[in-house]
Amino acid sequence: MEAISPNDSSNSQLLSRARHGDQKAIGQLLEKYRGRLRRVIRLRLDRRLQARLDPSDILQEAYLDALRRLDAYLAKPTMPFYLWLRFLVCQKLHALHGHHFSAKKRDARREVRIVHGAAPEATSEAIAALALRSTSTPSEKAERAGKRALIVKALSRMEGMDREVLAMRHFEELTNAETAQVLGIKPSAASKRYLRAAKRLKEILSGTAISPEEEGS
């Protein structure tokens, strides 16, 4: 039996057809998550590579890998389908960072353990950009640069796991159970971390957060 999360319940029929070689069903499954997986890439691609690598190309390579490994997954699924695709994307990002950066230029602290491996962490800069993406009025735009710097600073002061839970729940739209599964922690721990980090982010965006300088006074 396939492990199906709440977000994957609608995939049952498509996966059943894919097991019987239905190429159209396979295409529908891959297309369904294209937008979410591009957001994963945006969150985790090292900013030094953003001008050199196209997220669409990275996703296409991950999808080709998915097609090569699909039969093995369908024969024995160990995680929901979307989490499997996300795992392949993170695996691709991890390999690209390793290819483009020497050991001296890589920072192992900027990686997070995922199922069966490691992935680049979501960067504070990328989280801040997504948090402010709906800002549109002139007055909001005028404040955005300062608010973005505040968000980046606050995120950088968070525990890495809190930042990851925030990125997965708030921006990748994973459920609490999915987030816990990816990080290998208990759902209760994932929920506690998310509530703490989301409260901090909301305070910053509403302008009610205490600055780091005030915290230290």
- pLDDT tens column, 13-51: 899 999 999 999 999 999 999 999 999 999 998 888 888
pLDDT of residue 61: 96
121-207: which CATH architecture?
A: Orthogonal Bundle (1.10)
26's tokens? 């396979």
Average pLDDT over residues 202-207: 75
Q: Which helix (H) or strand (E) holds 29?
A: helix 23-32
Which of 17-21, 57-61, 134-138 tops mean pLDDT?
57-61
pLDDT of residue 147: 79
DSSP assignment of 107-142, as one string? -GGGEEEETTEEEEPPPHHHHHHHHTTT--SHHHHH
- pLDDT tens column, 71-106: 999 999 989 999 999 999 999 998 898 877 765 455
For 131, other C-beta atoms within 10 Å of its C-beta total 21
| Spans of all domains in the chain | 7-104, 121-207
Average pLDDT over residues 59-66: 96
**Fold category of 7-104 in CATH:** Rna Polymerase Sigma Factor; Chain: A (1.10.1740)
Over the Cα atoms of the chain, what is R_g?
A: 19
For the entire predicted model, the pTM comes to: 0.79
207 pLDDT band (50/70/90 cuts)?
low
- Start-to-end Cα distance in the chain: 56
113 pLDDT band (50/70/90 cuts)?
low
Residue type, 54: D
CA angle 188, 131, 127 (to 5 degrees): 70
Q: What is the mean pLDDT of the chain?
A: 81
